Amino acid sequence: MITSTSESLASELSAPALPEFPPNQWYVAALGWELQDKPLGRTLLNNPVVLFRKSDGMVAALEDRCCHRALPLSNGTLEASGIRCGYHGLLFDDAGKCVEIPGQDKIPSKARVAAYHVREQDQIVWIWFGSAAQPEPDCEPPHYAVHSSGQYLFDGSVYHYEAPYQLIHDNLMDLSHLGYVHLRTIGGNASIHMNARMSVESEGNVVRVVRHMRDSVPPPTYTAAYPFKGTVDRWQEIEFHVSHLRIWTGAVDAGSDSLDDPERGGFHMRGFHGVTPETATTSHYFWTIATNPASDPQAIKDKVVEQTILTFDEDKQVIEAQYRNLCRFGARPMIDIHVDVGANRARRIIEQLRQA
């Protein structure tokens, strides 16, 4: 059967467009301490959003555009009743409804802006981006007990990347690069990293990568934070979720504890990595790092955070340079090697959710 060009084009134009990012997910919008007494404007999945903390401490999220003359509401101010536009003073509540127009008693029914479902959980602010078929959340946002259990000290911040979000996924799913990119901090022997015993498992939309490096020399960050006696047994446990990753790394004195024991001792670093697309080519990277100091808690926590920032600065430089080169060279073929298994599985999950 021969299909005419016009018929093919009509078929393509009538086919529903695939979503650019997996819908029906909770994505990270902010870290709780970012929202104080001012509104915060942020583009998330191509949507300009204003986030703010209400007078009762709860978080709200609206479209970042006043319905009167389109000034970003993030340029406005917070009041007990909501957020006031900084141009002509229209006041909007947390549902996006205009509740006051200065100098005018009647408020038009169309005087409202879109509101988003948003939740704060364990000091992480999550926002729901649903599909047309599922605009309402069908689950609560993820819990992250590391922030609320009291067993760890933690801190964190936000990076803005001039690169697509899946390049950040690739970087986090493959920690073999530590021996080459992070020599001054959490790296260590590059050969040991590349030859670490690794297992990769998948269940639903979660990918788990476990890497063990036994009897290895602890890297600078580890020796600065913990009194190791000599060589160590290191572990790296990476758990990929569509909107974030959880990475547990650490070490014990060589031969002193089982790396399969979930209650093992030693030095721990638990990282939360909320990777949220801003656009197709830019990203927000929300991170926290938690640790369990053996002594001098505040000083050790500060040292771990300082070292973590150094590693993330290095990663950002590498990933943005990688993306610039991808743009420069175009669609050239690339090979895979043994350390790419976890990252490739994560990419397949993202694509399956886009296609679903």
Tens digits of residue pLDDT in 182-230: 666 665 665 666 666 789 999 999 999 999 989 999 888 888 889 999 9
According to the per-residue pLDDT averaged within each range, which of 167-181, 189-203, 329-343 is highest? 329-343
166 and 72 part of one domain: no
Domain assignment of residue 284, yes or no:
yes
Q: Indicate whether 115 pLDDT > 70.
A: yes
Domain assignment of residue 136, yes or no:
no
Q: From the DSSP assignment, how many helices (H) and strands (E) are in the chain?
A: 7, 17
181 and 215 part of one domain: yes
Domain assignment of residue 67, yes or no:
yes
Domain assignment of residue 1, yes or no:
no
- Residues 165 and 344: their CA atoms lie apart, in Å, by 14
CA angle 251, 253, 257 (to 5 degrees): 80
164 and 285 part of one domain: yes
106 and 156 part of one domain: no
- 59, 39 Cβ separation under 8 angstroms: no
Domain assignment of residue 142, yes or no:
no
Helix (H) or strand (E) holding 166: helix 165-173
Q: How many CB atoms lie within 10 A of CB 124?
A: 24
- The count of structural domains within the chain is 2
Q: Indicate whether 110 pLDDT > 70.
A: yes
Report the Cα–Cα distance between both ends of the chain, in Å, rounded: 29
Q: How many CB atoms lie within 10 A of CB 106?
A: 7
Q: How many CB atoms lie within 10 A of CB 34?
A: 16
120 and 181 part of one domain: no
SS (H, E, C) 217-235: CCCHHHHHHCCCCCCEEEE
Which of 177, 141, 183 has the alpha carbon at shortest distance from 272?
Answer: 141
233 and 338 part of one domain: yes
- Tell me the average pLDDT of the chain: 91
Domain assignment of residue 112, yes or no:
yes
177 and 211 part of one domain: yes
DSSP alpha helices (H): ranges in 197-288?
220-225
117: containing domain:
25-129
Q: What was the pLDDT predicted at 16? A: 53
- Residues 342 and 174: their CA atoms lie apart, in Å, by 7
The CATH number that applies at residue 220 is 3.90.380.10
Which of 185, 166, 163 has the alpha carbon at shortest distance from 174?
Answer: 166
Give strand pairing partners of 109.
Answer: none
CA angle 235, 209, 342 (to 5 degrees): 140
- 276, 58 Cβ separation under 8 angstroms: no
334 and 238 part of one domain: yes
- Residues 94 and 257: their CA atoms lie apart, in Å, by 51
- Residues 25 and 128: their CA atoms lie apart, in Å, by 6
108 and 171 part of one domain: no
300 and 170 part of one domain: yes
Percent of the chain with pLDDT over 70: 90
Q: What was the pLDDT predicted at 9? A: 47
Judged by DSSP in three states, 356 sits in: coil
- Residues 144 and 138: their CA atoms lie apart, in Å, by 19
Q: Could you report the per-residue pLDDT of 271-322, keeping only the tens digit for each? A: 999 999 999 999 999 999 999 988 899 999 999 999 899 899 999 999 999 9
Judged by DSSP in three states, 337 sits in: coil
Q: What was the pLDDT predicted at 184? A: 67
Domain assignment of residue 137, yes or no:
no
The CATH number that applies at residue 31 is 2.102.10.10
Is pTM, for the whole model, over 0.85?
A: yes
Domain assignment of residue 12, yes or no:
no
According to DSSP, the β-strands at 206-216 and 197-203 are antiparallel
According to DSSP, the β-strands at 118-121 and 47-53 are unpaired
69 and 192 part of one domain: no
256 and 321 part of one domain: yes
- Residues 165 and 58: their CA atoms lie apart, in Å, by 28
Hey, what are 274's tokens? 């909320």
